[in-house]
Amino acid sequence: MWDTRCPARCASTTSRLGDALTTHEVADTSFVPSTRLRLAGMALHAYTATGTVLGFLIVVAAFDGAVERALWLALAALIIDGTDGMIARRLRVSETIPSFDGARLDDIVDYLTYAFAPMVLLWVTDRLPEGGWGAVFAVLPLLASSYQFCRTDAKTADHFFLGFPSYWNVVAFYVFVLDLGEVTTSVILMACTILVFVPIRYVYPSRTRAFRSLNIGFTCLWLVTYAVLLAQEPDPDVIVVLLSLVYLVYYAGLSLYLTLALPWGPAKRLSRDAIAADLED
């Protein structure tokens, strides 16, 4: 959930409220996309849509008991999700193909690869308690994510995620890398489910303006540690594990600090100037 197709997601997914406007309403009317740009936009949407295929393959790998394969596929999904939005803004896809809702596609892909597939992976590989309690711990994150993906303020106007941003794929990754037991896994899932509803502003690595370059750099390093740890399975290097966990501490600490330090602005409504400035970003 690092990037989204529509630069003003919150405004474009809600009806007009007062002076709240959609991206298309402030788009440059003089902009006439070329055929090449339209084709590039279509290719970009197809690139995003490959995440649905990856989600399917993760589930298949889960039922095959191929955990490492599933986690490599999850890494590929992370990379696609982390790059498609930035490319989309460069190509001005929301203006080039205004009839296609890329933000909705992004949500569909994210739910499959960030929530549904990881929970299936944890369930079928016996990382959750047996019986009813295991089903509860598997389903609660899915219900919480269903709620979160439908919130109009899930991403704030100043580019934060509001509430735990359904990083269940990251949770699943550490469950296997750290070889966490059923009880520990269940406690983490329950805690993160609750945090979905707690209004902490979590850093949106590629878009939050505060420490943006540092956030992107650290996120890229974390992706490298992800790949290295998978390559080292089943005996990951302790130093690489610690470096990977340091990023989590940084991310959580910075999110909490910015939640407390920055003034709260409107989460749902964007002015015409704000959207226009966002398009130029």
Q: What is the pLDDT along the chain (281 residues), one digit of tens a residue?
A: 554 444 333 333 333 333 444 444 444 556 677 888 899 999 999 999 999 999 999 999 999 999 999 999 999 999 999 999 899 988 889 889 999 999 999 999 999 999 999 999 999 999 999 999 999 999 999 999 999 999 998 999 899 999 999 999 999 999 999 999 999 999 999 999 999 999 999 999 999 999 999 999 999 999 999 999 999 999 999 999 999 999 999 999 999 999 999 887 544 444 444 444 454 44
What angle, rounded to 10 degrees, do the helices at 168-177 and 182-195 form?
A: 160
Residue located via tokens 């339209």: 38
**Spatial separation of the C-alpha atoms in residues 161 and 107, rounded to whole Å:** 13
3-class SS of residue 87 = helix
Domain ranges (residues) in the chain: 9-280
Backbone phi, psi, residue 100, to 5°: -115, 125
Contacts of 91 (CB under 8 A, 6+ apart): 37, 40, 41, 44
- In the prediction, which pLDDT does 220 show? 97
Classify each residue of 224-251 as buried b or exposed e, where b means 16 or more C-beta atoms within 10 Å of its C-beta. Answer: ebbeebbeeeeebeeebbebbeebeebb
